[in-house]
Structure 1
C-alpha cells in the first residue's frame, strides 16, 4: 500500500510541473521515499521531476506504454517508495486515452492544480466540474498563484466538500522555458535552490496529507525479453544536443542483451570503434549547430560507419544532425554530417506533435513526435507513421543505406522485436 496521486489540471499552463516538483521536493525533505511518473510523451519535464525527487522518472501512457507495462512500473515503484506522484498531461480529460483514464484504470485519485491567480470562488465551480465530468476521484486541490491568506480562504470555502490540500504563492521568477518546453535542469545554475524555494513556499496541510487513504497497487509479473540483441554493442549519442530519450528505451535495449556505449558528438568524440549499431536520439542540435558543424572527428566517424553498413537509427534531433545543413532560429546555416540529403530549418511554429505508431514486420512500434523544424529532402519516404487516434498519415521515415531516420520518437518497450530490428544488419 502506498500513497499515490495524479496531479492534473484543467489545461496546460496551470503550473502542474512546478507544483509536482515542489511537492516531490517537499515530501523528500520530509523523509519520504518518492517516485514520480509523467503521463504521456515527454522528455524535459521528467528531467526536472527527477531532479526534484532524486529518483528516475518513467512515462505512463495507456496507449504508448500500454496497460501492462504501466502496471509493472507502478508495482515496482510501490515496492520501493512511500509516495507515488504522477504528473498529468495537458488537461485532465484531454487526449485518447487521457490522464483521467489513467487515474480510473489504476485507482489513483486526482490532485487538481488550479491557477487561482485571477479567480476566487469560481475555483469551486471549476474543480467540481473536473470531478463530476468524468467522473474521477478528486483527493484535493493545490491552488497555484495564491495572493494572500484571505485569497486562500476564499478558494478553500468555494471547494465545499473537496479539501484545499496546499497553496503556492505567485512566483517572483518561474522555471525558464524555450521552444520545446522547460530549459533543461542542468542549464539552470541554481536549480536545486529554486526547487527548495518552491518546496518552502508550498503551504501544505499536514492533516489533509495524513488523511489520504493508501492506494492498492498489486504486483505485476515481469516477462522475460528475448535476447534479440545479445552480443550487440550499440553506440548511443548522449550530451546536451542528444538527450531526449526515454529511460525505458535504454532499459529495453539492455534487457534484450545489448551493450550500450555512450559518446558525445558535441565533444567531437568518434563513434566507438566496437559499435555494431548507432542510436542518435533527439535533443537540441539547433542550439549547438555551430559546435556540431566543427566536430570533424564525429562527422568523419559517422560517415565511416554508415559507409560500412552499420545500422544507424536517428530520431528527430538525431536525424537533423545527419542532414546536409541545419538552419538555426537566427537563420544561420551550418553544415551537418550529410548522410541524409536535405536541409533542415527551424520554424517559428510547431511543425509536428502527437502520438504516432509505425507499422513494421514485427507489429506496431509506438511513440510520438514533437518538433519545430522541417526537413526538405528529395529522398522518398520508405514509410510513414500513423497518427493516434485519427489514423491519418504521420511522419515520414527515411532509409538511406543502413540509416533509418525520422522525426518519430520510438518507445522501444512498446515493441521490443521491432526496436531490435532497427539495430541489426539486414540479411540479404
Structure 2
C-alpha cells in the first residue's frame, strides 16, 4: 500500500520583491475557499507577517518552508501532511524566483511543484514576455506553469503581453492596476491583520474579497497539476521539557512566533502559559522559563515602559536565575531604554544593559545560525534597529552565505538574548537545554541591570 499523498499544488513566485505575489496568493486562496475547498498555504523563508494575511485568506494556519532554516526533511513532512487533508496546496515564494541560496526555485524543484510567476507590468509590455521567457527557461528542471501579469493599465496592455508570449508560456491571469487593493506595509513588512483598521481605507476582508473577484474566470483559478508528496517520518522529540511551565509573551508588541516552535515545546512536554507584557501586571504563577519573542515593541514602547508591574516581575524572575530566551523585540524590551521611530526615548524593563534605537533606513536581515555551547540553532535576523552599550557578546551568529560575523549573542547566567529569531525544530535538544536551565558553560547568574534614564542614550 502506497503512503504517497496526492494533491494539486502551485508555487507562486515573482521576478522580484514588491510584485504583488502575497496579494495574488491570498486572492487565489480566498477564491478556492469560496468554492468550498480546503486550501493549505505555505510561505517560503522566514516570515511572520505574510503568513498572517494568508491564514486569514485561507482560514487555515500557514507554516514556513525553507530548505536552509527548517531543512528538507521538515519541509517534506509538512507538505505530506498538508496533502493528506487538503484540496489544494499553495506555496508563496520569497524575493525573486531565483534569488538566494537556496532559492524559491530550489524549493519548487525539490518537491516538483509547478511555478507561476507574478510580474508587475507597470511601465512595460512586450518586455514582460521576455522576462517571463527567461524565468521559464533558466532552470529547465523546474515545472513552469505560467505568468501572472499584475498592475495592467488597460485591455490593450494585456493583449500586447499575451501576443508576445511563446505558445508554451501561458498568461494565467491579467490583473488591473487597483492601488486601493494593495496590502498596507511598514518598516518590517506588511501590517498585521489586527492592526489594519484605518476607517478611511478598505478593510482587509474587503481587500481579499475584491482581489478574489478579479481572478474570476481567469486560468489561474483552475486547479493546478496534482503533485505526489512523500512522507518523511521525522523522529518524535524527547520529552526534555516534561513538567516545565514556560511563559510566552504574546500580544500586539510580541507576535513573531512560529507555530512550529510552539508545537515543538508542547511535544517535548512543556506546559505553555501565555501572557501579555502590555496588559498584564504580573507573570503567570509557577513559571520555570520565559520566552520573549520578537514583534513591534517600538510601536508600543510607551505602554511597555509604563507597565511597571510587569517590568518588575521580569526583573525578579531574572534575579532568581531562571532561564529567559529573548529574541529581537524581546531583547529590546529587556534593555534599559528604547528610542522609537519618532526619536522618543522610553524606559524598558532594565533587565539587561543596553539601549535600543530604531533606524529609518539601515537594518539587518538574512539567514543566520546561533553557535551556542548547547548546539547550533538555525534562524534569521530581520530588524531596523541597533543596540549599544550592551554586554560583551558571548558569540556571533553565523551567516548562511557570508563569512562576516552575524548578530551578537548575549548570555548572562541563564538569560540568552540576541536579534536572532530561532527556528526551534532545527535543534530541539539545544532549545530544551536553553529553556530547562541545563545550559552548558553558563556563568553564575548575575544581578539585573537597573534602568537608566533616557539621557544616557547617545
The two structures share one fold, judged by TM-score above 0.5: yes
Q: Secondary structure at the match of 1:309?
A: coil
Which of these residues, 351, 363, 374, is aligned with residue 339 of structure 1?
351
CA displacement at 1:426 relative to structure 2 = 3.2
Q: Which residue of 2 aligns with 1:307?
A: 319
Q: Which residue of 1 aligns with 2:450?
A: none
Which of these residues, 413, 421, 425, is aligned with residue 425 of structure 2?
413
Alignment partners' CA distance in 1, 2:298 and 2:45: 24
Contact 1:116 1:143 in 2 (8 A): yes
Q: Which residue of 2 aligns with 1:237?
A: 249
Contact 1:363 1:418 in 2 (8 A): yes
Which of these residues, 325, 336, 339, is aligned with residue 324 of structure 1?
336
Contact 1:306 1:401 in 2 (8 A): no
Contact 2:28 2:221 in 1 (8 A): no
Task: Give yes or no for the alignment of 1:193 onto 2:206.
Answer: yes
Within a 5 Å distance, the mapping from 1:80-159 to structure 2 comes to 80-135=85-140, 136-159=142-165
Q: TM-score, normalised by structure 2?
A: 0.91
Q: Which moved more, 1:332-341 or 1:350-359?
A: 350-359
Q: Secondary structure at the match of 2:12?
A: strand
CA displacement at 1:220 relative to structure 2 = 2.6
Which of these residues, 47, 54, 68, is aligned with residue 52 of structure 2?
47
Contact 1:268 1:296 in 2 (8 A): no
Q: TM-score, normalised by structure 1?
A: 0.97
Within a 5 Å distance, the mapping from 1:360-399 to structure 2 comes to 360-399=372-411
Q: Which residue of 1 aligns with 2:200?
A: none
Q: Which residue of 2 aligns with 1:424?
A: 436
- The aligned length equals 427
Q: Secondary structure at the match of 1:64?
A: coil
Q: Secondary structure at the match of 2:89?
A: strand
Q: Which moved more, 1:284-293 or 1:187-196?
A: 187-196
Alignment partners' CA distance in 2, 1:196 and 1:171: 13
Report Cα offsets for 1:65-111 as digits up to 9, x if no partner.
00000000000110111111111010111111000000110000111
Report Cα offsets for 1:105-128 as digits up to 9, x if no partner.
000011111111222222111111
Q: Which residue of 2 aligns with 1:30?
A: 35
Q: Which runs of 5+ in 2 are unaligned?
A: 1-5, 198-202, 443-458
Q: Secondary structure at the match of 2:30?
A: helix
CA displacement at 1:175 relative to structure 2 = 1.2
CA displacement at 1:278 relative to structure 2 = 0.3
Alignment partners' CA distance in 2, 1:244 and 1:250: 12
Contact 2:246 2:289 in 1 (8 A): yes
Report Cα offsets for 1:167-214 as digits up to 9, x if no partner.
2211131211110011111111321111111111224425x6547321
Which of these residues, 283, 286, 294, is aligned with residue 306 of structure 2?
294
Contact 2:407 2:420 in 1 (8 A): yes
Q: Which residue of 2 aligns with 1:167?
A: 174
Q: Quick one: structure 1 residues 105 and 420, their matched pair in 2 at CA, closer, same or farther if it must change by over 3 Å?
A: same
Report Cα offsets for 1:378-422 as digits up to 9, x if no partner.
410011110111133101111123211000110001110111111
Which contiguous aligned blocks of 4+ residues in structure 1 show a shift greater than 6 angstroms? none
Q: Which runs of 5+ in 1 are unaligned?
A: none
